[in-house]
Structure 1
Amino acid sequence: MQSLVIVAHGSHLNPDSSAPTHDHADTIREVGAFEEVRTGFWKEEPHLREVLRTVEGEEVYVVPLFISEGYFTEQVIPRELRLSGWDVDRWGSDGLSADQATLAAADTGQTVHYCGPVGTHEAMTDVLVRRAETVTGDPDVGEGFALAVVGHGTERNENSAKAIEYHADRIRDLDCFEEVQALYMDEEPEVDDVTDHFETEDVVVVPLFIADGFHTQEDIPEDMGLTDDYRTGYSVPAEVDGHRIWYAGAVGTEPLLADVVLERAADAGADVGDSLSAVRETTRVATGDD
């Protein structure tokens, strides 16, 4: 019996923080890829420390719903799951290439295939493009549009920017958007100056965040000049300095992210059958794109 556990940060303060995790778990559960699908959180219940005890299967695939490799994926999650023999070198990663490590859970004895975060998987590139399609309502979005991929950026974790640059480069190589730029909240080039970085009139802005929260709902819209007060809302698209800004909100809320979770598990050896194609079809219908 193979089981899937999707682990995420969660929040005591923002009840919407865990919504994408539950939504993607429901999508995967509905296509029958695993005999059981569970969720676990750092800041909500069920807690990471207890989640494996809710799983009946002896073989468990754990996929972190995080953007980058760092403190949570390398230290917190393995510690809370009590993965025997864990060492970050088991991933052999350069900050982008974490794949999977097979370990034993010390207190339950289960075999755990611990996967890299969804944010660094190549399939996340497709989710970013789909997010642009969703916000513009155009399944062929690209020509006449620029794309900004926005990350937090931090000197404390250099891997934070690596994921942003990685996907911006991959989308640029697709040659479908007029311009593609990686922007950040806390380092240069900053999202505050979004219109300074593009000549194209229409700019789609997609934050590479898992859930909508303080940064994506308040900081970024105000920083870009979409509104003076996030509580009054803003238009999509919004006119800013001669540009139309199509603000998409957190990429992690895009239904297609369920596909990346499955891709991570499949890369670790899970038998997902035809569930990948089923999820892609299900999520395309969910976004109204026939």
Structure 2
Amino acid sequence: MQALVIVAHGSHLNPDASTPTYEHADTIRESGVFDEVATAFWKEEPSFREVLRTLESDEVYVVPLFISEGYFTEEVIPRELRLDDWDVEEWDSDGTSATHATLEADDVDKTVHYCGPVGTHDAMTDVIVRRAETVTGDPDVGDGFGLAVVGHGTERNENSAKAIEYHAERVAESGRFDEVKALFMDEDPEIDDVTDFFEVEDIVVVPLFVADGYHTQEDIPEDMGLTDDYRKGWDTPAEVDGHRIWYAGAVGTEALMADVVLERAADAGADVGDAIEEVRRRTRVAGTDTDASASAGD
């Protein structure tokens, strides 16, 4: 038997923080490729520490629903899962290239395939592009548009910016959008000045966050000038300094994120059958030909 566990941060304050995790788990559960699909959280129940005990399967694939490598993926999650002999050097990562490590959790007698975070997987580039398609309602969006990939940015974790820059570079290399920029909340270049970085009139803004919350629903819209009070909402697109801003909200709420979770597990050796293709088909943005390419990487 094989099980999938999606681990995420969660929140005691924001009831919507865990919603994307549950939704992606449901999507994968419906595919039927895992005998068990479970979720676990740092700030909600069930906890990281408990989740392995809830499973019957002796082979478990753990996928962190986090954007970047760092404290949680390298220290907290392995510690709480009690993964014997965990060593971050096993990933041999440059900050965006963590893949997986196979370890034993002897206290529950299970083999755990611990995966890198979803946010650094190449398939996340496709989700960013899909997010742009969804917010504009255009499966071919790109020509005449700019794309801003937005992250938090922090001096405490240099990998936070690396993930944002990595995907922005991948989208730019695809040539789909006229302009692509990586912007940040807490370091330069800042999202506050988004219109200064683009010449094109239409700009899609996609925040690389797992769930909508304080940053994506309050800080970023106000910082960009979409509204002077987030409680009043904003237009999509919104007119700002002679540009139209198409604000997409957190990338993690995009249904295609379930595909990234599956790809992480498959890279670690999980038998996922044709579930990846099925999830891509089922989550394709409305109006898109099911046989057409919908991503930068296709």
Normalized against structure 1, the TM-score is what?
0.98
Q: How far is the alpha carbon of 1:106 from its aligned partner?
A: 3.3
Secondary structure (helix, strand or coil) at the match of 1:195 reads helix
* Alpha-carbon distance in 1 for matches of 2:278, 2:117: 22
Q: Which residues in structure 2 correspond to 1:96-107 (within 5 Å)?
A: 96-107=96-107
Distance 1:15 1:288, change over 3 A: farther
* Alpha-carbon distance in 1 for matches of 2:240, 2:156: 32
* Alpha-carbon distance in 1 for matches of 2:244, 2:66: 30
Instruction: Name the counterpart of 1:232.
Output: 232
Q: Which residues in structure 2 correspond to 1:41-80 (within 5 Å)?
A: 41-80=41-80
* Alpha-carbon distance in 2 for matches of 1:176, 1:102: 37
Q: How far is the alpha carbon of 1:288 from its aligned partner?
A: 5.5
Q: Which residues in structure 2 correspond to 1:11-160 (within 5 Å)?
A: 11-160=11-160
Task: Report how many residues are paired.
Answer: 289
Letter in 2 for 1:194: V
* Alpha-carbon distance in 2 for matches of 1:233, 1:42: 30
* Alpha-carbon distance in 1 for matches of 2:87, 2:274: 33
Instruction: Name the counterpart of 2:295.
Output: none
Q: How far is the alpha carbon of 1:35 from its aligned partner?
A: 1.0
Instruction: Name the counterpart of 2:210.
Output: 210
C-alpha deviations, 1:35-87, integer Å up to 9, x for none? 11000000000011101111110000000000000000000000000000001
* Alpha-carbon distance in 1 for matches of 2:252, 2:181: 19
* Alpha-carbon distance in 2 for matches of 1:22, 1:246: 26
Q: How far is the alpha carbon of 1:32 from its aligned partner?
A: 1.1
Contact 2:139-2:287 within 8 A present in 1 as well = no
Secondary structure (helix, strand or coil) at the match of 2:284 reads helix
Q: Which residues in structure 2 correspond to 1:183-194 (within 5 Å)?
A: 183-194=183-194
Gap runs ≥5 in structure 1: none
Letter in 2 for 1:145: F
Normalized against structure 2, the TM-score is what?
0.96
Letter in 1 for 2:122: E
Contact 2:150-2:182 within 8 A present in 1 as well = yes
Secondary structure (helix, strand or coil) at the match of 1:169 reads helix
Greater than 2 Å deviation, 4+ residue runs: 287-290
Give me the CA root mean square deviation: 0.8
* Alpha-carbon distance in 2 for matches of 1:243, 1:134: 19
Secondary structure (helix, strand or coil) at the match of 2:52 reads helix
* Alpha-carbon distance in 1 for matches of 2:45, 2:53: 13
Contact 2:206-2:251 within 8 A present in 1 as well = yes
Contact 2:138-2:287 within 8 A present in 1 as well = no
* Alpha-carbon distance in 2 for matches of 1:55, 1:289: 38
Instruction: Name the counterpart of 2:284.
Output: 284
Identity of aligned residues (%): 78
Secondary structure (helix, strand or coil) at the match of 2:215 reads helix
Gap runs ≥5 in structure 2: 290-298
Letter in 2 for 1:226: L
Q: How far is the alpha carbon of 1:123 from its aligned partner?
A: 0.3
Secondary structure (helix, strand or coil) at the match of 2:164 reads helix
Instruction: Name the counterpart of 2:294.
Output: none
C-alpha deviations, 1:65-123, integer Å up to 9, x for none? 00000000000000000000001001111111100000011320100000000000000
Secondary structure (helix, strand or coil) at the match of 1:39 reads strand
